[in-house]
């Protein structure tokens, strides 16, 4: 071997820094995955305990059931569903961050996340569902005194804006 043959890569300024940043970014996203997963677990647990207490309260009200009481419990159950939907959003974000920035995960077919746009679209779809659930909860408990029309228009405008964004992106 000739002493002039040097097969090493030439020095590139900043290459060590870039390598350090790219390898350490997995740890940063691991924190994001763990944090959002913890939020999801917390919300699922709170939703479960609120479900149990709401069911216990409704069973304690036996004998006092009327349409107004039933509407109140239905509203509470819809709000509980909203808690579970928000928990699902955080869970999907955690899985998406893991899939995009750390390693491939065995996700179901409907949850395949190839890029950040896929994650955003899944998130926006769940936001639309959550907004619709909020509107349903308000409609069930509407007593006729509040102006529900303006609330409904605001929710519809949000859903329309999100839908238009998704439509334009595709």
Place of tokens 């955080």: 90
Q: Residue-wise pLDDT tens for the chain (170 aa)?
A: 555 555 555 555 556 777 776 667 778 889 999 999 999 999 999 999 999 999 998 888 766 677 777 878 888 898 899 899 999 989 999 999 998 888 888 888 888 888 888 888 888 888 898 888 888 888 877 777 778 888 889 999 999 999 998 888 87
Say which DSSP state 11 is in.
P
Comparing C-alpha atoms, which of 23, 27, 6 is closest to residue 15? 23
For residues 138 and 148, the answer to whether their CB atoms sit within 8 Å is: yes
What pLDDT is stored for residue 8 in this prediction? 58
């Amino acid at each position: 071997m000739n002493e002039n043959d040097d097969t090493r890569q030439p020095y590139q300024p900043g290459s060590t820094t870039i390598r350090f940043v790219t390898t350490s970014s997995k740890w940063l996203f691991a924190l994001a995955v763990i944090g959002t997963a913890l939020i999801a677990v917390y919300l699922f647990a709170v939703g479960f305990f609120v479900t149990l207490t709401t069911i216990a309260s409704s069973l304690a009200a036996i004998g006092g059931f009327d349409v107004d009481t039933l509407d109140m419990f239905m509203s509470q159950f819809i709000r509980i569903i909203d808690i579970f939907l928000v928990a699902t959003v955080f869970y999907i974000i955690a899985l998406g961050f893991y899939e995009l920035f750390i390693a491939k995960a065995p996700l179901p077919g409907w949850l395949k996340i190839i890029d950040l746009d896929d994650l955003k679209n899944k998130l926006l779809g769940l936001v639309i569902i959550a907004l619709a659930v909020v509107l349903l909860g308000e409609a069930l408990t509407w007593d006729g005194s509040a102006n529900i029309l303006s609330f409904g228009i605001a929710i519809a405008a949000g859903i329309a804006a999100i839908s238009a964004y998704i439509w334009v992106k595709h």
